Amino acid sequence: PTIASLEDFRWARMIVCSRNFGLLINGHRTSALVPHADMLNHHRPRETKWTFCEERQCFTITTLQSIQAGCQVYDSYGQKCNHRFLLNYGFCVERNVEVDGFCPNEVPLELGLDGFGGVVLFGENLSNEGGFLGVEANKECRDKKLAFW
């Protein structure tokens, strides 16, 4: 008998991968799904810590600083590069500056407007004199360039 379709298995696997908490319970390392705790958004530096409280036999989240009433409570998903954030949680951190925030698959690109409604690429490793690809370099186009990285 089929327990689940491949699509259902993929969905369940991603739910567990993106929402589980690694815990030490009664001396054993394990993972747990913790409803509502998995809804906290990521922020660095961390503002909270979580653990399994042996005395109370429950999952606890403790703030590391004062958080005013009405303010969002964040969790830290750890120091990760953006490809790990994207793979595990479905987002990237803009300007990830963590020590290990470098991703070998990231390539900085500068995009610009060509003056005719088109987009062109700028960059040192692109062909064309001066690192300009798309149209002949001109001051107006360079002045309109937008940097994305």
Over its length of 149 residues, how does the chain's per-residue pLDDT go in tens digits? Answer: 788 999 999 999 988 888 999 999 989 999 999 999 989 999 988 899 999 999 999 999 999 999 999 999 999 998 888 888 888 888 888 888 776 656 555 666 666 776 666 666 555 444 444 444 444 444 444 444 443 33
HSE on the CB side for 123, CA within 13 Å? 14
Structure confidence at residue 100 (pLDDT):
60
Measured distance CA(29)–CA(64) in Å, rounded: 24
Structure confidence at residue 1 (pLDDT):
79
Structure confidence at residue 102 (pLDDT):
61
Measured distance CA(55)–CA(7) in Å, rounded: 40
Nearest to 58 by CA among 35, 78, 42, 81: 35
